A and B are shown apart, each in its own frame.
Chain A
C-alpha cells in the first residue's frame, strides 16, 4: 500500500495543465448501477467495470455482458455503452464501447444584412473504445489495464487519440479498495484533422467499499486537475439476503466537475437479478432547465 501511495503521489505531481482538456463524457456515469451509488467506481461486478477500473474485471466469473442507455436534453441526445468480458486461464479480457451522437445540428450562414440562417445540417459523434485486461496478482490483489481509443467527429473535423488506464483492486473480505489512474500518459492527446489537439486529463481515484450484513457503504475521492478540489462521492446499497439477494436499492451523492464548474447531485438506484440477468435503473434530478428527471438503465448478463 505504501508503494501504491508513493506511485499515486508521483502521478499527481506529473499532472500538467494544457489549454483545453478533452471532454470525458464517461465521467458522468457508464452504468446505472454505479450511478445509483454516487458513481463510486470500481465495484461494479459486471463487464461495465471496464470503464471504471479494469482491475475490477476480477469479479467476472466466466462471461459478462452489459449494456447501458440514457437520453439527455429531454430525449434529444442518446448515450449508450456496451461491454463484454471473458475470463481465461491467463486473465480476463474485455472490450467496451461508450458513445453518443448528436444528429441534425444546423450549419449556419450569414446573409448580406448580417442576419443568420442555415443551409443544411451535420452531426457530432463522440466515443471511446476500451480494450481491457485484468489479472489476479496475489491472493488479495488484482490488477488491470485499459488501452483507450478516443474519437470525436464534429462535422468534417475528426480527432482521435490513445491513452492508458491502470488500476488495482484489493479484496480484504468485507473491505474492497479500488485505485485507478486514467489517461496515464500526459503527452498522448486527441489530435484533430484541423491541426489542433486536446489533452486527455489524467484522473486519479481511490474508492472504498465496506460490506456489513445486508448493507454496502461506498466512498471515493477523485482528482483531475491539481488546481481543482478533490471530488468526493458517497454511496450505500441495501440488498436483503432474506430475498436471496435478487433485489437491491441504493442511494448516492456525487461531486463532479463540468468544464471547471463544480456540481453535486443525489442519485437513487434499484436493481433486480433473475437467472443471471440483472436490471438496473438509476434516477437523479435533471439539471437541464426543461427536464425534471433523469433516468439511466442498464442490463448485465452473467454466463
Chain B
C-alpha cells in the first residue's frame, strides 16, 4: 500500500515538472498541445513516457490536456492558424530547366493557402489556391509545393520574382525568388 502511494507521488511530481517545462501552466485554458511545438521537451517526454507508460496520458487527461503527435490532423485545435517559420523556395537561385523549385513552409494546422507569384514590377505571373486539408500546400505540418504549379508549367525568364502566401486575405509570408536561365 505504501509502495502504491509512493509511486503515485513520483508520478505526480514528474508530471508536474513536465507540465512546468513545456509551459502548460501558461496556457492551461487551452485544451490542446502539439508535440511539434515542444520539440525541446520531446526527448524528456519520451523518457518520462517510458517510465510512466500509460499513466501519463491518464494524468494529462485528468488535467484536461491532450497530447497530439506529429501528423495528427489538428483540425479541432483552438490555436490560431498560422505559418510557423519562413516560407522558402529551394533551390534559390534556381533554374527551371535543371531544378524543380519548390516553396516549403510549415503550417500549425490545416489552412486554405493562396500563393501568388509576381514580377519585381508587381505584375502577377502565377497563382494557386490550396484548399485546407485537401492537398499538399494546405496541410498541418511541413508542405512543399512546386513553383511550376503556380505557373501552369511555364518557365520564367531569368531575374527576380516575389511570392506571397495569403491566408484569409492577409499576407503571411513574402520572399524573393531568383531564377537563372
Contacts and interface: CB of A to CB of B under 8 A. Distances in A.
Contacts of A116: 86, 88-90, 104
Interface stretch (B7-15, B55-63, B115-123): B115-123
Of the listed residues B86, B116, B176, B179, the one surrounded by the most CB atoms of chain A closer than 10 A to its CB is B176
A118 B86 contact: yes
Contacts of B159: 23, 124, 126, 152, 154
Contacts of A114: 104, 142, 144
A61 interface: no
B118 A73 contact: yes
B166 interface: yes
Given A19-B155, A20-B155, A116-B104, A194 B180 contact: yes
Nearest to A104: B176
B180 A106 contact: no
A288 B118 contact: yes
B116 A289 contact: yes
B142 to A, nearest CB: 6
Given A25-B121, A28-B121, A105-B176, A259 B157 contact: yes
B155 to A, nearest CB: 5
Interface in A252-299: 258-261, 263, 286-291, 294
Interface residues of A, number: 51
A124 B166 contact: no
A108 B95 contact: no
A114 to B, nearest CB: 7
A41 to B, nearest CB: 17
Interface string A100-112: 1010111111100
B88 A117 contact: yes
Interface string A51-85: 00000000000000000000011001100000000
A114 B116 CA distance: 23
Nearest to A258: B123
A289 B126 CA distance: 13
A28 B121 CA distance: 8
A272 to B, nearest CB: 26
B180 A290 contact: no
Interface of A: 19-23, 25, 28, 72-73, 76-77, 100, 102, 104-110, 113-118, 122, 124, 126, 152, 154-155, 157, 159, 192, 194, 196-198, 258-261, 263, 286-291, 294
